[in-house]
Amino acid sequence: MSERTIPNTDAPSIRPALRRVLEHQALKYLLIGGAASAIDVLLFMALYNLAGFTDWQAHSVSVPASVLFSFAINARHNFKTNDYILLRLLSFSVVCLIGFLVGYGVIVAAGSVGFGANLGKLASLPVVFILQYTLNSRITFRKAGARRPA
């Protein structure tokens, strides 16, 4: 005679909890941002280290490439917006310009203390992530007609 195991229905299922975590906007933004950052960093390092671009030139190419990727994926899959696309792209671009300048400031600061541009680029990522997520989630991808949090 074989014993059958009866599942414990009192124990919480891991799948719904995992689904809730993966559906959280900040986590999605982080994952999309991670992919965009990989594009940014790899392109920056290739242009700076292999192609002979200056740090400014490499940063000026790598950031816009990652911005366009990030906007397209965030608008469609994370914030699920399809209205006011040009206005949202403009807002996203302004937020990214702010992030660009802050990021370059970190690169320059890292270089001035002897860490170099590559380490500066990596150090700039969490600073720029927090800044851009805050601005984009509250301004760029805010639902039309929704009030900003007080």
> Does residue 81 lie within any of the structural domains?
yes
pLDDT at residue 22 in the model: 56
> Does residue 25 lie within any of the structural domains?
no
pLDDT at residue 147 in the model: 61
The residue type of 130 is I
- Integer Cα distance of 136 and 141 in angstroms: 6
pLDDT at residue 26 in the model: 81
53 in helix, strand or coil? coil
> Does residue 9 lie within any of the structural domains?
no
Cβ–Cβ under 8 Å, residues 106 and 120: yes
- The tally of domains found in the chain comes to 1
> Does residue 2 lie within any of the structural domains?
no
> Does residue 44 lie within any of the structural domains?
no
> Does residue 148 lie within any of the structural domains?
no
pLDDT at residue 8 in the model: 52
> Does residue 60 lie within any of the structural domains?
yes
In order along its 150 residues, the chain shows pLDDT tens digits of 555 555 555 555 666 655 665 568 888 988 998 899 899 999 999 999 999 999 999 989 998 899 899 999 999 988 999 899 999 999 999 998 999 899 999 999 999 999 999 999 999 988 988 899 899 999 999 987 666 555
Which residues span the domain enclosing 99?
52-143
> Does residue 101 lie within any of the structural domains?
yes
